Amino acid sequence: MLKIVLLVVCVALPLGAPKEHRHRLREYKRSLDVDKALKEKIKRDAAELMREKEEQFEAERDYWMEKYRHRQPPAPAPAPPPPARAPPACPAGTTSINGICVKINGL
C-alpha cells in the first residue's frame, strides 16, 4: 500500500502536476533523503559510541587486573582435625561404658 502511494506521489503526480506541486514533491523527496541521512548518522554515532565504551571497559579491566596481579592468593583452608579414634575393642564377656571396658557379672 505504501509503495503504491509513493509511486503515485513520486512518479505519477510530477508528470501532470503544476509547478507548485512539483516543487513540494522535490522538497518532500529531499526531506526523505535528509531523514535517511540522519538515520545513517545516528547509526554511525551509536557504533562509534559503543566502540569507545568497549575500549574504556577494556582499559579499566586491564588497569584493575594489573593492580591486583601481584596480590597473594588467599591462604588455603586449615586441614580438618583428624578423626576421633575408636575406642579399643573390648575382650569377650565385657561391655564398653563411656569407652571403658567393664565386666558385668550376672548377665
**Structure confidence by residue, pLDDT tens digits, 90-100:** 887 788 787 78
Q: What is the pLDDT of residues 38-53, one digit of tens each?
A: 889 999 999 999 999 9
What pLDDT shows up at residue 66?
Answer: 87
Residues paired with 100 in a beta bridge: 97
Of 36, 33, 32, 29, the C-alpha closest to 13 is 29
Q: Is 90 left (phi over 0), alpha (psi -120 to 50) or beta?
A: beta
Map out the domains of the chain as residue ranges: 9-70
pLDDT of residue 101: 82
Residue with more model confidence, 6 or 74: 74
Question: Considering the chain, what is the average pLDDT of its residues?
Answer: 78
What single letter denotes the amino acid at residue 94? Answer: T
pTM of the model: 0.38
